[in-house]
C-alpha cells in the first residue's frame, strides 16, 4: 500500500528564485517523512487559500507580496503577527487556516549567534515587512531599534507603530548603533552590485547584517568587511524561519544544519551558473 504524501507549499509572486523548496525537502528526507514541499506562483491571497484547501496542503509558507494581504482572509492570526502586520506561515488545523510569523524568530536566532541583543541599538534600513519583523524581534530581546528610512511616509509610520526613533537614511553617517541591518531588497540578485551604504559610513558599526541572501556575500557585506565590521549573511535567517515552520507543522525537530547545507549548496550553484552565463554573453 502506497503511503500518502503530506503536502506543504510556498505561495507568492514570484517564487522561482526561492530556496525554500530545496531546504524543506532536504529536511523531510533527512527526517524520514513522507512529505513534499512545492512552490506555487499565485495572483492573490484568495487563490493561494483556494489551492491550499483543494490540494489538502497541511502547511504553507507565504512570501511577497501576500504577507499582509493574506491576514484578512484567514480563520485566525496570532498576536505576534498582528503586531508585526504580516504572516509568513499558515497551518491547517481542524479545517481552519491559521496564520503566524516565523520571520522574527529566524531573525533573532541568526543575530543571537553573534551578539547579545539586550540593551544594544540596531539601525534598520527600510520599512518593509522584513523590517517590521526585525524590529519586533529586536524589541522582544530588549534591544533598541532605530528606523533609517528612504520613504518618509512609510518610515515614520513604522517607527510610530513600534514606538521607536527614526531618521532619513541620508543620516547614516551620523548614526550611532552597534549593528546596521539591511531590511530592503537592495543588493539582491540580479542587481547584486547595489548597496545603500558605503565603506566610509560602515566603519562606525561593530556589526552589519544583510537580510538579502542571494548573493550570499552582498555588496553591502563586502563593504562592511573592508571597513572592519563583523558581518552576518541573510541565509541563516531563512533557514531558521523555515526550521520553525517545520516545528509548527510536524511537531518534530528539524535538521537545521542539513537545511543550511542544502540551501547554501543550491545558492552557490545558482551563483556559479549566473557567472557562467555572464561569460557566455
Contact 5, 28 (CB under 8 A): no
Q: What is the mean pLDDT of the chain?
A: 95
- Every domain of the chain and the residues it spans: 6-103+238-280, 105-235
Given the residues 4, 36, 67, 222, select the one marked as catalytic: 67
Report strand pairing: 179-182 vs 121-125. Answer: parallel
pLDDT tens by residue, 161-219: 999 999 999 999 999 999 999 999 999 988 889 999 989 999 999 999 999 998 999 99
Active site residue 4: no
* Residue found under cell 484547501: 53
pTM of the model: 0.94
For 5, which DSSP code? P
- Residue 5, Cβ neighbours under 10 Å: how many? 10
For 127, which DSSP code? -
Q: Do domains 6-103+238-280 and 105-235 have the same CATH topology?
A: yes
What pairs with residue 59 in β-bridges? Answer: 8, 91
In CATH, 105-235 is 3.40.50.720: yes
- Which CATH code is given to the segment(s) 6-103+238-280? 3.40.50.10860
pLDDT tens by residue, 36-52: 999 999 999 999 999 99
**Cβ-based burial of 58 (10 A; exposed 0-12, middle 13-18, buried ≥19):** middle
Collapsing DSSP to helix, strand or coil, 228 comes out as coil
Amino acid at each position: 500500500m502506497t503511503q500518502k504524501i503530506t503536502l506543504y507549499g510556498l505561495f507568492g509572486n514570484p517564487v522561482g528564485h526561492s530556496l525554500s523548496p530545496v531546504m524543506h525537502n532536504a529536511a523531510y528526507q533527512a527526517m524520514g517523512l513522507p512529505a513534499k514541499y512545492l512552490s506555487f506562483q499565485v495572483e492573490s491571497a484568495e487563490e493561494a487559500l483556494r489551492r491550499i484547501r483543494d490540494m489538502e496542503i497541511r502547511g504553507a509558507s507565504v512570501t511577497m507580496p501576500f504577507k499582509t494581504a493574506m491576514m484578512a482572509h484567514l480563520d485566525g492570526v496570532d498576536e505576534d503577527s498582528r503586531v508585526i502586520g504580516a504572516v509568513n506561515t499558515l497551518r491547517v488545523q481542524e479545517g481552519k487556516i491559521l496564520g503566524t510569523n516565523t520571520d522574527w524568530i529566524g531573525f533573532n536566532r541568526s543575530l543571537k549567534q553573534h551578539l547579545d541583543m539586550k540593551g544594544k541599538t540596531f539601525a534598520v534600513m527600510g520599512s518593509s515587512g522584513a523590517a517590521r519583523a526585525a524590529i519586533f524581534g529586536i524589541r522582544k530581546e530588549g534591544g533598541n531599534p532605530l528606523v533609517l528610512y528612504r520613504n518618509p511616509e512609510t518610515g515614520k509610520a513604522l517607527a510610530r507603530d513600534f514606538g521607536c526613533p527614526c531618521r532619513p537614511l541620508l543620516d547614516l553617517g551620523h548614526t550611532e548603533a552597534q549593528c546596521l541591518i539591511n531590511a530592503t531588497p537592495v543588493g539582491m540578485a540580479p542587481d547584486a552590485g547595489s548597496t545603500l551604504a558605503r565603506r566610509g559610513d560602515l566603519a562606525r558599526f561593530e556589526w552589519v547584517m544583510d537580510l538579502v541572501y542571494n548573493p550570499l556575500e552582498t555588496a553591502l557585506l563586502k563593504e562592511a568587511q573592508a571597513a572592519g565590521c563583523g558581518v552576518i549573511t541573510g541565509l541563516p535567517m531563512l533557514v531558521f524561519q523555515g526550521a520553525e515552520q517545520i516545528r509548527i507543522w510536524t511537531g518534530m525537530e528539524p535538521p537545521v544544519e542539513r537545511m543550511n547545507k542544502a540551501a547554501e549548496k543550491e545558492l552557490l550553484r545558482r551563483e556559479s551558473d549566473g557567472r557562467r552565463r555572464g561569460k557566455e554573453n
